Structure 1
Amino acid sequence: MIAYMKGQVTFIQEESIIIDVQGIGYEIFCPNPFVFQSFLQKELLIHTYFHVREDVQCLYGFKDKEEKELFTKLISVSGIGPKSAIAILSSVHVPDFVAAVETEDEKYLTQFPGVGKKTARQIILDLKGKLTSTISINVTSAEKVDTDTVDLSEAKEALKALGYTDREVSQIIPELQKADLTETDDIIRHALSLLVKN
């Protein structure tokens, strides 16, 4: 198992980053590659998971241990593979997700791509009680998370309708999450100001 890598971030792509470790470029797939924008051409330590199957070998990377821990737990759930887990992590606040599992909040879980009621139920069945020992929980966030996630998702769709690409929108997601806005209109206004700057 490759637990982490330390090297220079040479490229940031829509789904991955390239890290140069002693002259070898490793492609690492990440939930939000653009969160590492400030490390471009700088040294970065990234937590990794090396996924091996008969037909594929992929490195997945995470900004912290909690994100990696949730990823490893998610791929242990029947019906969730690495790509689905990465898609979930790309738009989640880890403690909120843990809180939703603990409170059996199926409505929250079904907001993620590829997660229907059956998969949400399976996530709760397989992971309830197994996440809180390693990941801190935030129940109050889970209570308001329906709105936050829906509003951000609606804002993304609105920006795409205005002609912005997935890549452009992905680049500003970390900034939008930091802004902690809860109304869709406010998120769109803030997003547009960020996109104009870029």
Structure 2
Amino acid sequence: MIGRLTGKILEKNPPEILLEVGGIGYEILCPMSSFYDMGDSDNIMLHTHFHVKEDAQTLYGFISKDEKTLFRELIRVNGIGPKVALAILSHLNIASLMSAVANEDDVLLAKTPGIGKKTAQKLILELKTRLEKLELSQGSHQKITSSNSNPNSLKASQALQSLGFKVKEAKKMLSAITDETLSTEELIRQALQNK
């Protein structure tokens, strides 16, 4: 509905700014990364996402179109609302988020306020294939590629972690396996042999 706004910043009160556009002041919630990119400039252009709920209509703003795209991917995940998505983008920049999903780094994602370990794992599971297909406009943010394209590798990694292995240990053990047709059980068995 409202895709982009250009105007003068009247107030900054993180995470909210008041942006005057044509004599109208819009209250817009922005991730902290957008606040840092704004610097001291008075006039800015924001890519926006208009979110409507039963009891509220909220406008979210982003300096880059890539941030808006990732925000929309995040809120598509069941259980992740706009406020949590905003917290994720405030905690991690685009490259860090893409890297965390590609490397299945649920520990880094779980450091975001409002995200627990299970939610982080769910985010990774749902976002991994979607972010691999995603084409971002800025060349500095490369597309993510899966190091192990076996769909069972995440389950095997979680099983190894429940056995007491650290995330990086489990990833290292699984990365040595090149056969992409193995079941979860076969992956775990081979990973334990590789240790």
Would you say same fold, with TM above 0.5? yes
| Runs of 4 or more above 3 Å deviation | none
Which consecutive residues of structure 2, in runs of 5 or more, have no partner in the other structure?
Answer: 145-195
The correspondence of residues 77-88 of structure 1 with structure 2, limited to 5 A, is 77-88=77-88
Q: CA RMSD in A?
A: 1.7
Higher helix share: 1
Which has the higher Rg, Structure 1 or Structure 2? 2
- Counterpart amino acid of 1:137? Q
2:188 aligned partner: none
1:137 aligned partner: 142
- Counterpart amino acid of 1:134? E
- How far is 1:23 from its partner? 0.5
Equivalent-residue separation in structure 2 for 1:67 and 1:37 (angstroms): 17
Equivalent-residue separation in structure 1 for 2:122 and 2:77 (angstroms): 7
2:59 aligned partner: 59
Determine whether 1:116 maps to 2:116: yes
The secondary structure found in structure 1 opposite 2:55 is coil
The correspondence of residues 31-42 of structure 1 with structure 2, limited to 5 A, is 31-32=31-32, 34-35=35-36, 36-40=38-42
The correspondence of residues 8-157 of structure 1 with structure 2, limited to 5 A, is 8-32=8-32, 34-35=35-36, 36-40=38-42, 43-132=43-132, 133-135=134-136, 136-137=141-142
The 8 Å contact of residues 9 and 19 in structure 1, kept in 2 or not, is answered as yes
The 8 Å contact of residues 51 and 59 in structure 2, kept in 1 or not, is answered as yes
Q: TM-score, normalised by structure 1?
A: 0.64
The secondary structure found in structure 2 opposite 1:128 is helix
Equivalent-residue separation in structure 2 for 1:38 and 1:59 (angstroms): 22
Q: TM-score, normalised by structure 2?
A: 0.65
Equivalent-residue separation in structure 1 for 2:82 and 2:15 (angstroms): 13
* % same residue: 45
- Counterpart amino acid of 2:107? K
The 8 Å contact of residues 135 and 143 in structure 2, kept in 1 or not, is answered as no
- How far is 1:14 from its partner? 2.3
The secondary structure found in structure 2 opposite 1:130 is helix
Q: In the TM superposition, what whole-angstrom CA distance separates every residue of 1:93-128 from its partner, at most 9, and x where no partner exists?
A: 211111211221111211111111211111112111
The 8 Å contact of residues 99 and 137 in structure 1, kept in 2 or not, is answered as no
Aligned pair count?
137
The secondary structure found in structure 1 opposite 2:80 is coil
The secondary structure found in structure 2 opposite 1:98 is helix
The 8 Å contact of residues 96 and 137 in structure 1, kept in 2 or not, is answered as no
Q: In the TM superposition, what whole-angstrom CA distance separates every residue of 1:5-44 from its partner, at most 9, and x where no partner exists?
A: 011111111221111111000010011264224223xx21
Change (3 A) 1:68 1:47: same
Q: Tell me: higher relative CO, structure 1 or 2? Use CA pairs within 8 A at least 6 residues apart.
A: 1
